[in-house]
Structure 1
Amino acid sequence: MTKRFWNLFKVSPIVLAATFFVANSALAAEVNEQVTNVGQLSETQESNEMSQVTSVSQFSDVQPTDWAFQALQSLVERYGCIAGYPNSTYRGNRALTRYEFAAGLNACLDRVNELIATATADLVSKQDLATLQRLQEEYSAELATLRGRVDGLEARTSELEANQFSTTTKLVGEAIFNVSQAFGDTRALPSGSAAPRSDLNSNTTFGDRVRLNLLSSFTGKDQLQVRLTAGNIISNAGVIGNAGVTGTGTNETRLGFDVGAPADNSLSIDKINYAFNFSDAIRVKVDASGGELWENTYNFNPDFSSSARGAISRYGRFSPIYRQGASGAGLTVSFNPNGPISLTGAYLAGNNTATSSAGNPADTNGLFDGDSTIFGQLSFKPNKAFNIGLSYARTYQIDPTRGGSGLFKGTGSAFANQPFGATRTDSNNYGVQVNFQPSSKLTVGGWAGYTVADALDDSGRDADIFYWAATLGIKDFGREGNLLGLIFGQPPKVTDGNGGIVEESGTTYHAEALYRFQVSDNIAVTPGLLVIFNPENNNDNDTQYVGTLRTTFTF
C-alpha cells in the first residue's frame, strides 16, 4: 500500500492535495494525542520544525536506490512542496505526524494557488481526473475500513463522554513500595559534639508512599493541581544527638521519598496550585499550599529530580537552593521558558503548620510577616545539549529549628541547617547549575552553592556555607528505558563564620549509585546504594550506608 501511495505522487498538485487528505484521514484515527499544556506543545513543535528544499539531493538520508526516490524527486523538484528537517534529513522510515502533514499540505496548497495565479499549468486535465478515479478505486477498501473504524471510535467516544469522571479533570497516580536499611558502626554526632557515642541500630523496613494528583484544565493551556499524599516511609536520621535512639543520627542519610511527619499513612492534601499563561511568553503559577521551587522552575537535574523515579537520596535530587521556601504559598512567574534565555521569579511564604503559616492571620504568620523566600533564576540554554543556570534566593526564617527544617529543609549537616539555633535568621543563597547532554544516552550535570546566613539578634553572628555535587546519567543502559546513575558531592557545610561560628571540623562526602530498571511503561524497580563519608562534617564519625530497593507504580 505504501509504494502505491507514493507512486501516485507523480501527478499535479490537485491530485497530490487529495492524496494528502486521504492519508491524513487515516492518520487522524491513528495519531490524536492530546496536548495538555503549553510545554508539551512547544516541545512537539520544536522537534518537528521543517524547512523547504529545492532538490532531493539536499536530503542526506535519501539515496537514488530508495524505492520512493523518483516520487520524492518529482514532489521536490516539480512541485516544490516537500519539506525536510533542519539537519537536512527526510526520515522517510518514521511515522508521519499531524504537524508534518499540515506542513506538507500547506506547501502543496500554496503551490496550487501559485499555479492558479500565474496560469502556468493545466490544473485539471483528463489525465488528472483519471488518476483521481484510479486513486479512489485503489483505496476503496482502505476507505471502507477507515469509515468503520471511525464509526467505532465515535461510539466509544460517546460512551466515554457519558461515563467519564469529569470533563475537565484527570487522575494521575503514583505509588512507591520500598525496602530499605541503614548500616554503620555508630550513630553520627555533630561536629564538636562531646556526647557519648552509641551504636547505629536500624532495622530493615518496608514502606510505601502514595500520591494522587487531580489535574484540571479549563482552557487547555492552564492547570489546577490538587495532590493527595499518604505514606509511612520514616526518615533514616532518627533523633539527631540522642544516644540510644534508632537511626543514623544525620539527615544526610535521608531518602528522597520519605514522607516526614506524620508517617502513619494518614491521607492529606499537601499541594494545591493553579498555573496559566499570561501571554505566549509568560507562565504564571499560584501556589495556595505546598509550593516548591524545584517544581516551579527548571532545576537542571531532569534524570534525578523525581522522588519516585530519580535519585534515591534527598541530596542527590537537585541543588539545595531549590529547597528554599519549600511547602510555601505564593507566586512564580516564568518568562520565555522555551527560549534560549529564560527568567524565573518567585515569592513563597511559609505554609507549614510546624512553622509560620501563610494561611494564619496571627502575628509572625501570614503572607508577608512569617517565613518567606524571594527567588530569581536566569537560565541560558543555547541548544538541547547544554544549559546553565544562575540562581539567587533570599530567605527569612523566624525559627529555623521549628519543624526540624533549617536553612536547607534538612538537607546537609544539622549545624549547616541551624547555625544559630532558634534565632531569627536571614540568608542570601547563590547557586550555579549545569546540565550537559553530549548524546541522547548520556547526561552530565552538577551544581554548586554558597550561602551567607546572618543571626538577627544583634550578636554579630554569621555563617558561610558551601556545597557541590556532580551527576552522571546513562540512559537505556542494558535496556530501553533503564537508567544508570552516579552522584557524588559535598552536602552543605559551614566553612567560616563570625561571632563564635567556626568551620566544621570535617567534610562529608556523598556517594550514590542507582539503577532504574523499567519493567513496563508503568512499573520501575530501582535498587540503589548511598554512602556517607564523615557524616555531619565530622571526621570522627564512621562511614554510613543505606541500601534500598524502590518500586514505583504509575497510573
Structure 2
Amino acid sequence: MKLFQQMLVAPATLGLLASGANAAELNINGVSDYAASADQVTSVTQFSDVYPTDWAYQALSNLVEQYGCVAGYPNGTFRGNRAMTRYEAAALLNACLDRITEVTDELRRLLEEFETELAILRGRVDGLEARVGELEATQFSTTTKLKAKSVWVMGGTQATGDNYKAESKKSEGQRSAYNAEYGAFSLSYDLRLGLKTSFTGKDLLYTRMRAGNMGDDSVWDGNGVGLNKLDTAAPGGNLVEIDRLYYRFPLGEGFTVQAGPLTRNTEMMGYKATAYAKGGQKVLDFFGGSLGVPGVWNKETGGGFGLMYSNKKNVDKGDAYFTVAANYVADSGEANDSNPNAGGFMTDNSEGNITSQLAYGNKQWGLAAGYRYGQCGAKFRTGTEYASSGKWGTPCTVTNKNGEDVRTNADSHSWSLNAFWRPEDSGWMPSVSAGVGASYLNGNSAWENNTSKREMASWMVGLTWNDVFMEGNALGAAVGQPQFVTEVDNNGGDNLDDSNYAMELWYKFQVTDNISVTPAVYWLSRPYGDDTQNFKGNDKSLGVFGGLIQTTFKF
C-alpha cells in the first residue's frame, strides 16, 4: 500500500481513539454482529443503487475491488446518501484493517513517529469534551440568552443665577430652594438584566428585569427639574421590577409584529434616525432616548402592539431602504386596570398613544418623519417645568364653575423630523444628528375654559466623534431646546416666555471591551421656563449645572 493510503487509514483509527469512546460505548459485540450480517461484495456493480455517474463511483470501486473492505446491506444496496452511524463506521474500519495486515508494521512506525503530537491532540479532545459536558450540565437554557448592563452614576447638580423670592421676603428664593433639596453629590446605579428567548431562531420573547436607586430623591430621575432626567435613569427603592415583556415575530416578507403587556412605542419604530452617542454613552434623556423630539419619541411603555415593514432584504447591502411602522401603546398604569373609568386597554381612559414613522436611509445616513396621537393624560416625556405642569395641558377631566368634574375630550397631535449623517471612517469629521418637533393640544369648551397651553416645540443638534485619541473612545456634544410652550390662549399670552436651552458635553473612555467610563457636564439655561420667578415683572435667569461620571459594565 502507498504511504498516503496508509495515512488515510491511520487518522480513521486515531479518530475513534481520540473520541474517548471505550469498549462499552462502541459495543464491540454489536459491531461484530453488524459486520457479520452485511454481505461482502467483490465488485461495485453488485450495489443496486451505485451508478457510474455518481461522483464517488471510482473511489468506491477501488475500495471494493482492490482492498475488499466495503460491505453492503443485505438487500444489495450501499445507501451512499444516508448518514453513517458510529457502529457502521467501526465495522467498515474493522473490515479494512483486517485486509491490510501487510502494513501493520508501517502503521506502527507512523504511530510511534507522531506519538507526542497524537498524545497532545487526544489531551485537547478530552479537555474539550469535559468542557462541553460541563457547559451542558450548567447551561441556563437552550433557548434563552442573558444580556446585562449596569451603570453607576456619581455626580451632582447646582442651580445658579438669580435668587428672587416667590411672594415675600420671608420665602426662600428659587435657587436656594433647589440647592437645599437637590444640591448634594450622590452615587447611584441602574441595573438591567435582559432575557432574550427564541423558539424558531427568527422570533424573540424579551423579558427585562431592572433595579436601581434613582427614585424620588435623585435628580437623575428628573427631580429638581424634569430636564435633569438621564437616559439611564432607573427606578428607586433597590427593588427589582419587570419593565419589558413582549414578543416579536416575522409575518410574511418584510413584516414584523411586536406585542406584549410591557412594550414601548419607540422600540417599535423599525428605524432610529440618529447617530448621536453611537459608540458612546448617552447622558440627558432629551438628547438620548427622545432624539430631541419628546412629543413623538415619548418612550411610552405599557400594553400594546405594533407592525413594522422594511424592504431592507430587497436592496443591495449598504443601500438605503424604507421602513414604515405604526403602533398602539396604553400606559402601563392604565392598560392593566379593569375599571374603564380609571383605565383599561383601548378605552377613553387608557392614556393611549398611536405612534407611526416613515423612514428612509441606511447605517450612514437617514431621514424619518414621525407622528403621535395622544389621548388625554398621555405623556410628553421631558420639557420645561411650565410645559410639564398640569398633565401637559391635556387633563381628561376639569372642574367647571359649578364644581362638577366634566370630561374634556382632550387629545394631542405631535409630529417630528429627524435626520443624521456620519462619515465612513473615524476622523476629525463628526457624525451629525438633528431633530425638530411640535405638539398641538385640543379639547372641548370645558377644556378651553380651564387650560391655557395650546402648542409646544423642541429641537436638537448632536455631534459625535468616534475613536478620539484612542480606538473605542468617543466624544460627543449636543445643544437644543427641550419641549417648551410656544402658544397659549389669548388671556395673558403676550407675556409668555418659556424658552430654555440645554447643552451637554461628554467623553467616553473604553477601559476594556466590557467596561467604559464617561465623564460629562451639562447646562440647562432656564429649566423652569415661564415658571421662573421674577422680581417686579422683570424676567430673571435661573439655570442648573450638572456634572457626573457614568461607569458602564456590560456582560
1:217 aligns with 2:212: no
> Partner of 2:502 in structure 1?
510
> Partner of 1:298 in structure 2?
271
Q: Which residue among 423, 429, 445 is the counterpart of 2:433? A: 445
In structure 2, do the counterparts of structure 1 residues 374 and 248 end up closer, same or farther at CA, with 3 Å as the change threshold? closer
1:522 aligns with 2:495: no
Q: 1-side partners of 2:463 and 2:219: how far apart? A: 30
CA offset digits 1:166-196 (Å, max 9, x no partner): 1111111111111010012369999999986
> Partner of 2:466 in structure 1?
475
- Identity in percent: 25
In structure 2, do the counterparts of structure 1 residues 193 and 385 end up closer, same or farther at CA, with 3 Å as the change threshold? farther
In structure 2, do the counterparts of structure 1 residues 475 and 432 end up closer, same or farther at CA, with 3 Å as the change threshold? same
AA matched with 1:548: L
The correspondence of residues 158-173 of structure 1 with structure 2, limited to 5 A, is 158-173=133-148
The correspondence of residues 28-427 of structure 1 with structure 2, limited to 5 A, is 153=128, 155-185=130-160, 197-198=173-174, 199=176, 200-201=178-179, 202-234=183-215, 249-260=224-235, 263-294=236-267, 296-304=269-277, 310-317=281-288, 318=291, 319-324=293-298, 326-336=300-310, 338=312, 340-352=321-333, 356-369=334-347, 370-381=350-361, 383-397=362-376, 399=377, 407-416=379-388, 418-420=391-393, 422-423=395-396, 425-427=410-412
> Partner of 1:435 in structure 2?
420
AA matched with 2:471: E
In structure 2, do the counterparts of structure 1 residues 367 and 192 end up closer, same or farther at CA, with 3 Å as the change threshold? farther
> Partner of 1:540 in structure 2?
540
In structure 2, do the counterparts of structure 1 residues 480 and 190 end up closer, same or farther at CA, with 3 Å as the change threshold? farther
AA matched with 2:367: I
In structure 2, do the counterparts of structure 1 residues 430 and 271 end up closer, same or farther at CA, with 3 Å as the change threshold? same
> Partner of 1:69 in structure 2?
none
TM-score, normalisation: structure 2: 0.64
Cα contact 1:191–1:505 (8 A) shared by 2: no
In structure 2, do the counterparts of structure 1 residues 386 and 158 end up closer, same or farther at CA, with 3 Å as the change threshold? same
Aligned Cα root-mean-square deviation (Å): 3.7
Q: 1-side partners of 2:165 and 2:554: how far apart? A: 39
> Partner of 1:464 in structure 2?
455
In structure 2, do the counterparts of structure 1 residues 336 and 508 end up closer, same or farther at CA, with 3 Å as the change threshold? same
Aligned-residue offset at 1:146: 8.4
Cα contact 1:182–1:236 (8 A) shared by 2: no
Q: 1-side partners of 2:233 and 2:264: how far apart? A: 18
> Partner of 1:89 in structure 2?
none
In structure 2, do the counterparts of structure 1 residues 278 and 207 end up closer, same or farther at CA, with 3 Å as the change threshold? same
State the aligned residue count. Answer: 398
- The runs of 5 or more residues in structure 2 that have no matched partner are 1-52, 54-109, 316-320, 397-407, 531-538
3-state DSSP of counterpart to 2:184: coil
AA matched with 1:363: N
Aligned-residue offset at 1:291: 2.1
Q: 2-side partners of 1:431 and 1:146: how far apart? A: 62
Q: Max radius of gyration: which structure?
A: 2
Q: 2-side partners of 1:217 and 1:189: how far apart? A: 58
CA offset digits 1:510-534 (Å, max 9, x no partner): 1100111111111110100010112
- The runs of 5 or more residues in structure 1 that have no matched partner are 1-115, 117-136, 241-246, 401-406
Q: 1-side partners of 2:200 and 2:492: how far apart? A: 53
Cα contact 1:257–1:312 (8 A) shared by 2: yes
Q: 2-side partners of 1:379 and 1:273: how far apart? A: 23
CA offset digits 1:434-469 (Å, max 9, x no partner): 010123323111100011011345343651111100
Aligned-residue offset at 1:256: 2.0
TM-score, normalisation: structure 1: 0.64
AA matched with 2:411: D
In structure 2, do the counterparts of structure 1 residues 384 and 409 end up closer, same or farther at CA, with 3 Å as the change threshold? closer
AA matched with 1:282: F
Q: Which residue among 485, 504, 516 is the counterpart of 2:476? A: 485
Q: 1-side partners of 2:492 and 2:387: how far apart? A: 10
Aligned-residue offset at 1:475: 0.7
